[in-house]
Amino acid sequence: MGRGRTGRQVLWPSPQVLVEECREVGALGGGAALGADGAEVLALDTGPVIAVGHSMGGQVVNLLAGRHQHAVHSVVALDPAHGADESEAEVVPARLAAYRTHGARAAAAFVADSFAPTSPPGLATAHVRTMLGTPDHVVVQAYAGMYTDADAVGVRKQSEEYLRHRICPSLTVWTAGEPATWENENLHVRGSRVDHWPDTGHYMHEERPRRTIKLIEKWADSTLED
């Protein structure tokens, strides 16, 4: 589950893989509306799915798992947009104000700093261009939906509450150590785990695609055997 160029990349040439792109979030509200993203999959009668999401998509798949527990076999969340600690939460109002004033330009500056020095050439440029092509109101409403709306779940206290509703096994991969430790301490379902990929940027699945594919394939094999 992703948006923009991330959501459109199909890494597995298999009819068993469904790629759902997050809708332009200008049409959405906060956490409740974000949780509706991906719900179209439920209408396909696939049986329980392994829901995979990155960043905002990481929120979406966890909301899906919490609100449609029968439909999600397990979750894989890559650097999800949840668990913002106190220091991160303090900058949220200023960042939202910058997005309201400067729109996609402010968001593009944030995106530009989200890559490791070893990321593939051109990857940062591609994402910055994608962000610059995003309508300003979409940037504002997407960020507010994740962090400041009444039912947003991006800040740590609310994140802990929504993760308690996730009763399926989960694999979460963080690029930073502190949130990895925090989420590991909040696991409550047998078979769940948290991985930490240091020296990797936020778009981990594009910086390290082969490692990501191998990780998800092994996770799928192990959880489907249970």
Full residue range of the structural domain in which residue 40 is found: 4-225
Tally of domains within the chain? 1
The predicted-structure confidence for 201-221, as pLDDT tens digits, reads as follows 999 999 999 999 999 999 999
pTM for the whole thing? 0.86
The predicted-structure confidence for 149-180, as pLDDT tens digits, reads as follows 999 999 999 999 999 999 999 999 999 999 99
Residue 221: alpha-carbon gap to chain centroid? 22
The whole-number average pLDDT for the span 84-94 is: 98
Indicate if the pLDDT at residue 142 is higher than 50: yes
Q: What is the mean pLDDT of the chain?
A: 87
DSSP string, 98-135: HHHHHTHHHHHHHHHTSS-TTSPTTHHHHHHHHHHTS-
Q: Which residues contact 76 (CB under 8 A, 6 or more apart)?
A: 50, 51, 52, 53, 61, 170, 171, 172, 173, 215, 216, 219
CB 134 within 8 A of CB 104: yes
Domain CATH number, residue 125: 3.40.50.1820
